[in-house]
């Protein structure tokens, strides 16, 4: 049995442009299990441009014990997350990836890190009408992006100037997958390519 006492950090993973994206993400999360044992989740962007998500509390093998959940995640882009417990951010509402849908776009975010200005940003966003359903930082990033104007890439760049702390995340958007990490490079983030 996996030692649930071993808590390192969260882990994020993504696969782009592969019809086995969900399955490869499952194995990637399994390899990152040492970084988080509280919950696991995967979101794919389906061929008809919809997000399909399965997530839950527990180890990767527990969340996807029924392999039918994984087989339903059909799409060529997938993102995933394993989470370690953070005080004040426990429970099902904080299981990632966090999916946010607006009238014009949708985003899904698995996140690793801590924003040191999270409370300040959240207070500002709430005063502007944002409603939060979770207590983690991933949803804050999503709300910042939704408030910005311009192309998605421009909004993403602008949002990175607003947030401060140690973090990395992958973001699934209608237009593809994006990755980011803090300006200090504190959180690990690697990019690789599978051979053909």
For 32-64, how does the pLDDT look when each residue is reduced to its tens digit (9 = 90+)? 999 999 999 999 999 899 999 999 999 999 999
Confirm whether 186 is domain-assigned: no
Confirm whether 171 is domain-assigned: yes
Q: Does the annotation mark 10 as catalytic?
A: yes
pLDDT top residue among 86 and 50: 50
| Percent of the chain residues topping a pLDDT of 70 | 93
pTM of the full predicted structure? 0.91
Residue ranges making up the domain that contains 25: 11-181
Confirm whether 4 is domain-assigned: no
Confirm whether 29 is domain-assigned: yes
The CATH number of residue 103's host domain is: 3.60.20.10
**Which entry of 6, 7, 10, 32 is annotated as an active-site residue?**
10
Q: Name beta bridge partners: 75.
A: none
Split into its structural domains, the chain has a count of 1
The confidence band for 88, taking pLDDT boundaries of 50, 70 and 90, is low
Residues 6+ apart with CB under 8 A from 38: 57, 58, 83, 84, 85, 90
């Amino acid at each position: 049995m996996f030692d649930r006492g071993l808590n390192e950090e969260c882990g994020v993973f993504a696969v782009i442009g592969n019809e086995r994206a969900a399955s490869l993400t499952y194995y990637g999360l399994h390899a990152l299990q040492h970084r988080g044992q509280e919950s696991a989740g995967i979101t794919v962007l389906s061929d008809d441009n919809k997000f399909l998500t399965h997530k839950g509390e527990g180890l990767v093998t527990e969340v996807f014990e029924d392999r039918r959940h994984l087989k339903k995640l059909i799409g060529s882009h997938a993102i995933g997350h394993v989470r370690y417990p953070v005080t004040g951010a426990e429970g099902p509402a904080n299981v990632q990836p966090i999916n946010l849908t607006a009238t014009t776009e949708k985003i899904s975010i698995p996140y690793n890190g801590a924003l040191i200005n999270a409370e300040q940003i959240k207070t500002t966003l709430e005063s502007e009408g944002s409603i939060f359903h979770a207590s983690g930082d991933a949803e804050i990033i999503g709300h910042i992006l939704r408030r910005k104007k311009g192309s998605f890439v421009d909004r993403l760049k602008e949002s990175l100037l607003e947030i401060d702390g140690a973090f990395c995340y992958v973001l699934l958007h209608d237009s593809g997958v994006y990755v980011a990490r803090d300006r200090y490079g504190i959180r690990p983030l690697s990019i690789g390519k599978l051979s053909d």
